[in-house]
Amino acid sequence: MSSRLRGTTSFYEDMVTITDRLPVEDEFRRVTLLSLQRPTADVSDDDLARVFEAAPHLETVDLSGIPPVTDRSIILLAENANNLQSIDLSGCKDITDLAILELASKSLPLQTVRLNGVTGLTDPSISALAKSSPRLIELELSGLPLLSPLSVRDIWSYSRKLRTLRLAHCTLLSDKAFPSPIPASEQVESDEKPLPPRPITWLEQLPPLILRHTAENLRVLDLAACKITDEAIQGIVAHATKIQSLNLSGCSLLTDKGLESICALGHHLDVLLLARVTNITDRSVVKVTRACTNLRCIELAFCRNLTDMSVFELSGLESLRRLSLVRVQKLTDIALFSLAEHATALERLYVSYCDHLSLDAIHLLVKKLGRLQHLAATGVPSLRRKGIQRFSDEPPPDYDADHRAVYRVFSGARIEGVRNFLDKEEQRRREAEIRNIPFLQRSDDNLDLY
């Protein structure tokens, strides 16, 4: 082995990764990964500045557990860590555009950037980041209230290698932030008489975003609580044809039309979150289920228009592992019967506050679904009878008395406990019928009829 090769090997062997503590001085020049998600001791901005000033080989930095970090430390990091590839500043609310612009100006080989909840950031820094970081694979910008369509358009235009993009709870985002489903050459003028003019904002004056390329690498897209319409979904799906995980929870303007356009994702889609998308109906859910046959996780909580028909269709998905139907109040026992018979791979089910579900239907469900590991049925009236609550997990400590009284969540072995309890009750009922005597419910596991 040549001396040069031996020297290179020795260099990499000396490198260290450090988690939840600051490196000591001897480790400054050897640390490549620094993760401070849950530091074991208080870490100040001065401490971080001292480390970043003398740690040139840092490649991955996670400061999500250090809210007090300021621009000064990040600027020092950008100046010294020439091979920085991943940075997580989620929750660091004192960070401003100044630090992000400095990161962008250094042409670092950034692949992962997480800035969730850094509420002071605005468009210029995000646009600069998108334009200067062609290697970006993962970009998380959830909870940025000042982010507008301007910078998100630059992300679509310049960050062509993105696999993950999170924009949840960016309340200024509208359809203008996303690719247009109709090429400019096909846009036609309407013959209808125009409405009287009204004041419009500069955002509404933005032209449609016409892309000459596709976002074929995008796999995870989170747009929860953004003010987008069906047109945005059509444009996204037309350009990002291989999305695997799509979060549209809280996008209350969406209708069946937008949901039906998701069908184009076909077998690529395996996670679809639609909580509080209240305008969708069985029609679109059935179409998506038939088109996206590899769906593994689907959330339909608070979708008030859905009925047993949607669940009947979903239960036929062979890959279905997680299903949320919280407050889908039109559901009846028929939905649970269908899941019990067909959704044999189901592991997690949420049916809290579905008022029309009987104890018999829940019994059949826990008896048939051998892989079920979590059942959330808080607020289901049939589960308030004596004997059931003792199998429930403990409610969160911040729940008041009323919420604690109706809390019914069963996990792991507790599901087996419910199953055994209801099996014994069924056995006692049959015995009572054979002996032609009144059946009385019990709250214990004893098989005696009285």
pLDDT score at 428: 75
pLDDT score at 424: 83
pLDDT score at 447: 56
pTM for the model:
0.90
pLDDT score at 12: 53
List, for the chain, all residue ranges whose pLDDT scores fall below the cut of 50: 5-11, 184-185, 187-190
Q: Which helix H or strand E contains 418, and what residues bound it?
A: helix 413-435
Residues 45 and 166 both lie in one domain = yes
Residue 50 in domain: yes
pLDDT score at 188: 46
The domain that contains 129 carries what CATH number?
3.80.10.10
pLDDT score at 204: 73
Residues 288 and 160 both lie in one domain = no
* CA quadruple 310, 314, 316, 318: dihedral, nearest 10: 180
Phi first, then psi: give them for residue 166, nearest 5 degrees.
-120, 120
pLDDT score at 201: 72
pLDDT score at 445: 63
Residues 112 and 22 both lie in one domain = yes
Residue ending a domain, among 157, 173, 189, is 173
Domain assignment of residue 75, given as a range: 11-173
User: What distance in Å separates the CA atoms of residue 149 and residue 177, rounded to the nearest whole number?
Assistant: 4
Residue 357 in domain: no
pLDDT score at 195: 59
Alpha helix ranges (H) inside 223-349: 230-239, 256-261, 282-291, 308-314, 333-342
DSSP 103-152: HHHTT----EEE-TT-TT--HHHHHHHHHH-TT--EEE-TT-TT--HHHH
Residues 162 and 287 both lie in one domain = no
Residue ending a domain, among 134, 149, 173, is 173
pLDDT score at 10: 47
pLDDT score at 20: 95
